[in-house]
Amino acid sequence: MDGAWGADRFRLRRRLRGVEQARAAGKPFDRSLERLAREVEQSVELRQRRLAKRPPVRYEDNLPILARREEIAQAIAQHPVVVVSGETGSGKSTQHPKICLELGRGIDGIIGHTQPRRIAARSVASRLAEELRTPLGDAVGFKIRFADVTKPETYIKLMTDGILLAETQSDHFLNQYDTIILDEAHERSLNIDFLLGYMKRLLDKRRDLRVIITSATIDAARFAEHFSFGQSPAPVIEVSGRTYPVEVRYRPLESDEDGADDSDVQQAIATAVDELTAEGPGDMLVFLPTERDIRETAKTLRGHTLRDGRKTDILPLYARLSAAEQNRIFQTGGPRRIVLATNVAESSLTVPGIRYVIDTGTARISRYSARSQVQRLPIEPVSQASADQRKGRCGRIGPGICIRLYSEEDYLARDRYTTPEIRRTNLASVILQSEALRLGPINEFPFLDPPRPEHIRDGYKTLFELGAIDDEQRLTDVGQRLARMPVDPRIGRIILAAAKEGSLHEVLIIASALEVRDPRERPVEKQQAADERHAQFAHEESDFLSYLKLWDFYHHLKETLSRNQLQRACRDNFLSQNRLREWVDIHRQLYQLVRESGYKPGPRRNDYKATHRALLTGLLSNIALE
């Protein structure tokens, strides 16, 4: 059994116990034993193939992390958990899996490597495959929300932290992995915090498992203390990153903060671009809070004549960017580039060739209101730590300059760190996962930062409203089904109700729409024109049903217009094509999920009462009386 593939051993030992129990009870066991012997033989052969076909490891010579390579390898060999703290650009994301592979990890199980965002999981996987000289999807693969590019022969698997969290439901001990790398842990998303607690408990049962936590210089000591075994915290290895000085210039907007509008910000960005252009050649990275801001700023800059008059490429960068558009970010050597990015470029992705940074100092940050029970996405000032991360994106290829479009006094008055998501969100999803995994009371789970009691209370209240838990806070049959659905519990409950009502076709369209931002746009300067165009989607029965009219309208355009005509039609009707595409993607995923769950969406019935009954099942606490 010891020669079998590590990921199979738990299952095979359990089968062996079953055979031994049958023999002890005097029951027939010969056929079971023969099947088990064949499975063990196949597992041994698989392990031998993985050992023989392991790709040779090659390293990049210019990455700071490689100066600590032997120290990191020794720590991984000797400790169950290692924390590696390093500045952006040090090589943490791409070199750790190779160090593990060289150590012999990835043979008895997969090297799992999580990233906070899909775009980062995909790009790191592509880079690793390139460095190991293997086709993407073979020795190195990735799994994200809409794609699984892995094979049974995969050694290194990149994925979002949400994917790994979902896998804990079917593989409680994560037996398919012998190493797990939790990258960018300093972001402290809800998924990351849940995984940190899950790993703390799992390591008591999986002594063979190795966990590597990588972080910016933020909170490294806290991660180490969280994984204390006995009296000693996990070892922390610090890696330098930036090698050149970065000058910070403060250029606050002339308007008062409350009075600054989009045009003020865009003009300030254009002015900062002119200032940096005069400093000499080099690409620029501009941080903006939303995709809409990126589009508007791109439009402003394309109409703005740069001081040096040279050709300039203006490139967007945000989480839902297509693979083809994403690849343009990594292509250097052409004209000067101005990359307009959301906070995805703070740490998840390293944009090469950046000499200058312009920071608007804001981002969309999800916050839950315990009083109104609404999760909001306001645009807020980023923390000092986030601002420092943004500054650190330059200074890697030479001396850098970071222009902040706010004052130094403003910077010094900001929070030192971003509040962890678990302290500012509705906990219904994480409680549901915790109950499904039988992890015990949520207030006893080993979170790095325990959630607020009122948020725990609201989370249980939401689950009770949805029928996911009973009066004693035990998971119901509905709760079990919701826990297997990778969507917000409210959306999942709506889908289950729609299956019962026979309105799945309509509800899948509406439910997927609720998972994205409204694709109908209302520019400040054209609100009346937008409202007039959007009136064609209004429905006399309800706002929800307007999504069905919008869905039909968009698909009619897709079927009858060329690509350029479709873009123009969306623009003329004040519709975001990016959000419409995301809507279609989520609908496709929900549709597949429903089919795999044994439900058949069936034809469209236009039974509005049945549709509303299903919707209300998941939205009870959002009902208002007029």
Per-residue pLDDT tens over the stretch 42-94: 888 888 888 899 999 998 777 889 989 999 999 999 999 999 998 777 888 89
- Please measure the distance between the N-terminal and C-terminal CA atoms of the chain and give it in whole angstroms: 68
163 phi/psi in degrees, rounded to 5: -65, -45
Record the tokens describing residue 625, joined without a space.
């009386």
**Range with the lowest mean pLDDT among 85-89, 219-223, 283-287, 458-462?**
85-89
- The CATH topology of domain 423-622 is Four Helix Bundle (Hemerythrin (Met), subunit A) (1.20.120)
DSSP labels, 310-379: --EEEEEE-TT--HHHHHHHT--SSSEEEEEE-GGGTTT---TTEEEEEE--EEE--EEETTTTEEE--E
Gyration radius (Cα) of the chain, Å: 26
475 backbone dihedrals φ, ψ, rounded to 5°: -65, 130
Confidence of residue 256 (pLDDT cuts 50, 70, 90): very low
Side-chain half-sphere exposure of 307, counting CA atoms within 13 A: 12
Separation between Cα atoms, residue 595 and residue 552, nearest integer Å: 22
- Secondary structure (DSSP) of 462-508: HHHHTTSB-TTS-B-HHHHHHHTSSS-HHHHHHHHHHHHHT-HHHHH
The residue ranking higher by pLDDT, 145 or 565, is 565
- Average pLDDT for 581-610: 83
Say how many C-beta atoms besides its own lie within 10 A of residue 599's C-beta.
17
Q: Which of helix, strand or coil describes residue 544?
A: coil
Give pLDDT, residue 3: 82
- Strand runs labelled E in 386-492: 400-404
Q: Answer yes or no: are the C-beta atoms of 214 and 149 closer than 8 Å.
A: no
Q: How large is the angle between the packed helices 563-572 and 546-560, nearest 10 degrees?
A: 150
Q: What residues does 375 pair with on adjacent strands?
A: 368
Q: What is the average per-residue pLDDT within 102-126?
A: 93
What is the distance between the alpha carbons of residues 536 and 428, in angstroms, rounded to a whole number? Answer: 36
**Cβ 188 vs Cβ 194: under 8 Å:** no
Q: Is the dihedral of CA 315, 293, 380, 543 positive or negative?
A: negative
Q: Is the pLDDT of residue 298 over 80?
A: yes
pLDDT for residue 569 = 95
Residues ≥6 apart with Cβ < 8 Å to 578: 291, 320
Q: Is 374 a residue whose pLDDT tops 60?
A: no
What does the buried/exposed string (b/e) look like for 262-299 if buried means 16 or more CB atoms within 10 Å of the residue's CB?
eeebbebbbebbebbbeeeebbbbbbbbbbbbbbbbbe
| Reported confidence tier of residue 595, pLDDT bands at 50, 70, 90 | confident
Residue 162 burial (C-beta neighbours within 10 Å; 0-12, 13-18, 19+):
buried
CATH superfamily to which 64-239 belongs = P-loop containing nucleotide triphosphate hydrolases (3.40.50.300)
DSSP state of 383: P
Residue 260 has pLDDT above 60, yes or no: no
Give, as one character, the DSSP assignment of residue 249: E
Q: Which residue has the higher pLDDT, 233 or 484?
A: 233
CA distance 124 to 98: 12
The pLDDT, as a whole number, for residue 468 is 95
Per-residue pLDDT at 623? 59
Cβ burial, residue 30 (10 Å; 0-12/13-18/19+): exposed
Q: Do domains 64-239 and 423-622 have the same CATH topology?
A: no
For the beta carbon of residue 329, count every other beta carbon within 10 angstroms: 23
How long, in residues, is the chain?
626
Domain ranges (residues) in the chain: 6-52, 64-239, 246-418, 423-622
Confirm if 587 and 508 have CB atoms less than 8 A apart: yes
What DSSP state is assigned to residue 453?
H
210-215 and 81-86 as β-strands: parallel, antiparallel, unpaired?
A: parallel
pLDDT tens digits for range 533-588: 999 999 988 888 999 999 999 999 999 999 889 989 999 999 998 789 878 888 88
The distance of Cα 43 from the centroid of its chain, to the nearest Å, equals: 33
Fold held by 246-418: Rossmann fold (3.40.50)
The per-residue pLDDT for 332 is 84
164-168, 258-262, 360-364: least confidently modelled range: 258-262
